[in-house]
Amino acid sequence: MSDKTITFDDVIAPLTGERFLSEFWAKTFLHQAGPKGRFTPLLPWEDLNAILKWHCPPQPQLRLSLNGKPIDVRRYIDGSVGALKLNAGGLIASLSQGASLILDKVQEVAPRVSQLAELLQDVFQGPMSVNLYAGWRKQNGFDLHWDVADLLVLQLSGRKRWKVYRPTRPYPLTNDIETAPKPTEQPVFDGIINDGDMLHVPRGWWHMAYPLDEPSLHLTFGIESPHGVDFVRWWTQKMLRHPEIRMNLPQEGDVTAQRKFLANVLKFMEDGLEGDRVGEFLREQKATRRMPPRVRLPVAPIEQHQQWTMATRIRLATSHSVSANIEGDGPLTEFRSGTHTWSSRRELVPVFELLTGHTSVALQDLCSRIHDKQLINALMSALEQLADAGVIFKEAPPAS
């Protein structure tokens, strides 16, 4: 089995990243043929067998589906809550009769899948979940449907037939005000996906897949990029600092007062949108993205307990990055990393924004960003508290 890391460039080859993002991503369907076996190392059959053997339900969530309907879990899972066990006999019998096997969030138990998911999250700037689908007979696992995520489908083994249709409602949402009608036109794609092929199915594009009476295994990487509704919800929370937004609405029938209220709301929104508000929103979203657990036993607890030196390296423990709330002009500002928030000097914004969950940075490099050396004590105090709270890791410098 190859140990080569599969990257974003490998997934979209022979397209370039620039062309894929500008012409296809979240815009239109794409079928990209590839050499047999190029995605197999992500999760070969023997790894799937190990996951099913050693990871008791529901981690990851195991589902069986046949002709668009779920199979009763009591057919293939035994026991009670907290003591669930896989019923291998029921599982194999169901699969032999045409059921499809689905493992949700398989990146949580498959290291190579997790690694690629992290790389793709950096490219597409949003949270990602990966589901595994396996089929043996000819029955479809799911009926014709669309997803709320933009999809990358990687065929790991075997073949599958796919039908893909254009969206009938642009950019549909889970709790939309209108239902997207089923397509009446012919599919834009009706063909066979082979081992090594990649599909891109944008949000809202209808699709349906069928096994071909042979073992078939594929991964679906689904990324839910932030959209306009997310921004509006975030911006509404920012507007709560204005008492005029929090006040009661004018009484029904008082048209003059209602118009004045609406004019004030629109003015607050217009004034508050100065600057890079969309960028600020995206940075906050990025700061909430969780990183895969980085445990590193037995050395990590030792390093976390060691005294600080300028060579000590610092990494965020659970989240991707840090975002700063730059509202107001006081001496302190609020920082956020994952679910943790803390306050520190405003001048430390460019320092904390250097922290990431992907790579570590030396304390000396952080201190070099501080022009007022009196602020170094404030930085050290904050870092010590963050280390004690498990927000950051202290890591020893690499051996020379």
Q: What is the pLDDT along the chain (400 residues), one digit of tens a residue?
A: 556 789 999 999 999 999 999 999 999 999 999 999 999 999 999 999 999 999 887 777 999 999 989 999 999 999 887 788 999 999 999 999 999 999 999 999 999 999 999 999 989 988 889 999 999 999 888 899 999 999 999 999 999 999 999 999 999 998 888 999 999 999 999 999 999 999 999 999 999 999 999 999 999 999 988 889 999 888 888 888 888 888 888 888 889 999 988 888 888 777 777 778 888 888 888 888 888 888 999 999 999 999 999 999 999 999 999 999 877 778 889 999 989 999 999 999 999 999 999 899 999 999 999 988 889 999 999 999 999 999 999 999 987 6
To the question of domain 299-395 being in CATH 3.30.1360.120, the answer is: no
In Å, what is the CA distance from 316 to each residue of 116, 288, 361, 393?
20, 12, 10, 6
Q: What pLDDT does residue 104 have? A: 95
Report the DSSP pairing between strands 69-70 and 62-66.
Answer: antiparallel
Residue 51's SS3 state is: helix
Give the Cα separation of 221 and 378 in Å (integer): 42
Q: What pLDDT does residue 290 have? A: 86
CATH number of 8-223: 2.60.120.650
Domain regions of the chain by residue span: 8-223, 228-274, 299-395
Q: Which amino acid is at 9?
A: D
**DSSP classification of residue 43:** S
Q: What pLDDT does residue 3 have? A: 66
In Å, what is the CA distance from 218 to each residue of 37, 39, 106, 157, 353?
12, 9, 12, 7, 37
In Å, what is the CA distance from 181 to each residue of 163, 173, 208?
17, 13, 15
Give the Cα separation of 295 and 278 in Å (integer): 34
Contact 110, 55 (CB under 8 A): no
Q: What pLDDT does residue 2 have? A: 56
Give every CB contact of residue 291 below 8 A, 6+ residues apart in sequence.
118, 316, 317, 318, 319, 320, 357, 358
